[in-house]
Each structure stands twice: as C-alpha cells, then as structure tokens.
A = this chain, B = another copy of it.
Amino acid sequence: MSLIIIGTVAFDAIETPFGKTDKIVGGAATYASLAASYFYNKVKIIGVIGDDFQQENVDKFTQHGIDTEGLQVKEGEKSFFWSGKYHNDMNSRDTLITELNVLENFDPIIPESYQDCEYLLLGNLTPIVQQTVISRLKNRPKLIVLDTMNFWMDIMMEDLLETIKLVDVLTINDAEARQLSGEYSLVKAAKKILQMGPKYLIIKKGEHGALLFHEDKIFSAPALPLADVFDPTGAGDAFAGGFIGYLAKVGTINFNNMKNAIIYGSALASFCVEQFGTEKILNLKDEEVATRVQEFVNLSSFTIEA
C-alpha cells in the first residue's frame, strides 16, 4: 500500500519583500511529498526532471523515505523553471519566467512497484496528465485528491471538468471556486462543485484558513496568524501533501478525519511559508509538527455552555 504524489519537480527563483533566491528546488510534487513524508512512510513520487537537477537534490527525497523510481530523468534536457515576484501583501504575485522544458512532453510512466497505490495526490499539472495517471493505475485508489488552479480553468476547462469527475477530493482557492462554479457565494459554489464529481471540496483561503464541504456539512479551519511570511511558494502543495499524508496514516476516510487532515495540512503549510522554498519543511522534527498542531487547537477551541 502506498501514497503516490504526482506533480512538478522543478527549479524556482523567488523574490519577496524579504529577499531573493537564485534557482532553488521547488515544484508541487516536491513540497507535497516532503510534507506527506512527516506522516506516512510509503510516499512515492511521479515527475520529470532534466539532467540539470543534481543528484544531491534527488537524495533529499530519499532521505525523507520518498520513493523516486517514478521520477524520470531526461538526459540533455532542462528541468521546469518558474520565476516569480510577490507583492508587498504576499497575496498576489507576478510570474516573471515560465520555462516548461521537460514538462512539455511529460508522459507519466507508472513503475510496476507503484501499482499498490491506495492514496493518490494529483498535484497541480495539466488535467490531461492527471487523467492519464488515473487511467494507468490497475486498481482505482481508495482516495484521489486533485489540486489544480485557475490557469487550467482559463485554457482547458473541458479537460479539467473531465478530470474533476474522477476524483474524491478537490482542493482549490476561493477565487478558483468562484470561477469554476460561476457563483460568488462559496456555499452556492460548493453545492455546484460537489455535483461535478468530488465528494469533498476544500476551499483554501490562504491567511484566512480553509473550508471543507461534504454533503450538507461544512468545516471551517483557521490559519495560524504569523508574524512573518517569508515566501508563500509551495504552501498550497505542502497543505495538500500534509492533508493526504495524514489520511494515509489514519487509513479511514470520513468527515472527522478529513477535518483533522486539514489541520495537519495547514500546519505544514504554516511551516512552509516561514522560510524560502523547501528550507523549513526539509528539516522538521516530529515534536515541532505536534506542537504546531496544538497551536491550531488552542487557536480555535472554545466551549459554549448550553
């Protein structure tokens, strides 16, 4: 039994009001698999890199117990590269450079050893590649989580809708939920989206937390108010990875476990933004994660006496 995470493994160059990086390791599958590795020890990654992606970077996955057999290396090609600059409010950013490189013809090959997949996280990628992964698994996983973004809604909504039909959980942000549903009210948006296929919808609201919708139930998760957000890159991916990693660990899919999974995902996302790139989530101790989760409990608990 395993948790497969597919997504980009890439280089990013990031500028925020706090500083600027050269090319550092990034990508949705990178953040998500590192986050998941704190909860589950059978994380397997699917992605593609060029020969510019140094072995020492691949080793960081292995050191976290992440299986990299599904990480294709394209000789003579370059890894996906993204460069962006965050504005002062850290909620908006400009993309400066996008070089698809190896991603242009990415064919997600699933190693035979990955066919025991029970949990599948489809990290942000073209919806067609995401669909291909599902179709190449011999058995449908117990839980499929799909992360996507407005970019795919803009240019290939039809394909995205086909992919959304196939999954159990969809994670998007509030603006994307509005775009996907055509409804401004998130309650109405969720109602429509839950008719598109997924049984669970997570709406990420950044510094305002997240909402989980399932049937007629709603859970509102807080975000940890932070004094400093150094770099928001990868926060959504770390959230998704922590989320599915926790569910893979507990092994039972229900609303209560989903709620806790959102708290664990949020905890990993809160670490992620405290330093540039993957720096913080590469080196967490289990006690730090437990302490952070307890902060979420303290932050949001109250007792109303009837």
Query: A residues touching B (Cβ–Cβ < 8 Å)?
Result: 88-89, 184-188, 205, 208-209, 211, 217-223, 225-229, 256, 259-260, 263, 290, 293-294, 297-304, 306
Given contacts A300-B300, A302-B263, contact A208 B211 (CB under 8 A): no
In the assembly, how many copies of this chain are there? Answer: 2
Is the CB–CB distance between A302 and B256 below 8 Å?
Answer: yes
A287 to B139: give the CA distance in the assembly, Å.
50
Q: Could you list 16 further interchain pairs (A-B, Cβ under 8 angstroms) beyond the known A209-B222, A218-B225, A290-B306?
A: A185-B229, A186-B225, A187-B227, A188-B227, A208-B209, A211-B225, A218-B299, A219-B302, A220-B223, A220-B299, A222-B222, A256-B303, A259-B302, A260-B303, A293-B304, A301-B301
| Closest 10 pairs (CB-CB, A-B) | A220-B222, A208-B208, A259-B302, A187-B227, A187-B225, A220-B299, A220-B300, A185-B227, A188-B227, A186-B225
A209–B303 alpha-carbon span in the complex (Å):
17
Q: Which residues of B contact A208 (CB under 8 A)?
A: 205, 208-209
* Bound-complex Cα distance A221 to B209 (A): 11
Asked if A300 contacts B89 (CB within 8 A), the reply is no
CB distance from A177 to the nearest CB of B (A): 11
Q: Contacting A219 at CB < 8 Å: which of B185, B229, B259, B300?
A: B300
Q: Whole-angstrom distance between the alpha carbons of A188 and B304 in the complex?
A: 29
- B184 touching A88 by the CB < 8 A rule? yes
Residues of B within 8 A of A217 (CB): 298
